[in-house]
Structure 1
Amino acid sequence: MAAHLVLELTAEPRAAGRVRSEVGRWLASLCGVDRACDTASDLVLAVNEAVSNSIEHAYSEEPDGTDGTVTLHAEVERPGPRVRVEVSDRGRWRDPPEDSGYRGRGLLMITACAEDVSVRPGPDGTTVTLHRTLGRCPGVCTT
């Protein structure tokens, strides 16, 4: 079981599926089980949403049509067992529209599924960092 997970993804829709699979497997390995617990599943949802937001928004207005990349760094923090996940892109920040209609709830979902969330837009891209304490899984305290 690795205490770190690093993924570099092309910012395209199929990358979100890869993130769900790999983060889910990584968290399950931390928990010492075959399938992630409910807490870890919530974290997979939050990470998926952060990656999906980068894929959809960060590069959509690039003049050359570049897809760009999304990078994920995840690690176990001590004391804990607490997980820190950072999702970053090198695209442009776009302020949400005043009326997002039926959309625009991604950050609310992330906040609901994680304990601490920060969003740092800047001239070199955006970084979303989230933390979540894992439940009392059999293997999580041994990493």
Structure 2
Amino acid sequence: MSAELHVELPAEPGAAARSRRATGRWLASLCGLEAPCDAAADLVLAVNEAVSNCIEHAYRDGAPGTVTLRAHTTHSGGPGCAGFRVTVQVSDHGGWRAPPTDPGHRGRGLAMMRACAEDVVVDRGPSGTTVTLHRTLGRCPADRAS
């Protein structure tokens, strides 16, 4: 198990799937499982949405860009995965697009991220946007078996 994850992705549609696989494998490895626990699966969903937003919105002018995914953990000493607090940062170097006042059937990404993570911070500036997600993992199946 590595306590850190770092993935550079091209800002293209296939990158969202690659981010899900990389994040899911990394989170599952924290507990030595093949699949992430429910709390980690929620975090994978939030990461997917953040990466998808970078792909769709950050590089609207058509210039090629990248999405950087970085994650690390701290451990509070609780049993198994229950003691892991995970921080994930998803960054781009593109421009910010303010959400429309009437998003229609779209525009629910930040709300979904907030529902799947304990804390979501969006930092936007002239050199890009970084979304930081925090989540404490719950008791994983491996913990319940012991």
The two structures share one fold, judged by TM-score above 0.5: yes
Tell me how far apart the structure 2 counterparts of residues 109 and 88 of structure 1 sit (CA, whole Å): 18
Structure 2 partner of 1:24? 24
Deviation by residue 1:64-114 (Cα, 9 ceiling, x = unmatched) = x21200001000123341000000000000101111100000000000000
Q: Any stretches of 5+ residues in structure 2 without a counterpart? A: 77-82
> What amino acid is the match of 2:121?
S
Match of 1:49 in 2: 49
- Percent identical among aligned pairs is 66
Q: Give the root-mean-square deviation of aligned CA atoms.
A: 1.1
Partner of 2:103: 100
Deviations 1:37-74 (A, max 9, x none): 111100000000000000000001x2xx2120000100
Matched, 1:38 2:38: yes
- The residue number in structure 1 matching 2:80 is none
How many equivalent pairs are there? 136
* Residue aligned with 1:119, SS: strand
Query: Residue 119 of structure 1 is aligned with which of 110, 117, 122?
Result: 122
Gaps of 5+ in 1: none
The range that moved more, 35-44 or 77-86, is: 77-86
Look up the equivalent residue of 1:115 and give its one-letter code.
Answer: E
Q: 2:73 aligns with which of 60, 76, 79?
A: 76
Pairwise CA distance, 1:28: 0.5
Secondary structure of the structure 2 residue equivalent to 1:86: strand
Secondary structure of the structure 2 residue equivalent to 1:47: helix
Aligned partner (choices 88, 99, 106) of residue 85 of structure 1: 88
- 1:31 & 1:116 partners in 2: Cα distance? 22
Determine the C-alpha separation between the residues in 2 that align with 1:33 and 1:135.
14
TM-score normalised by structure 1 residue count: 0.91
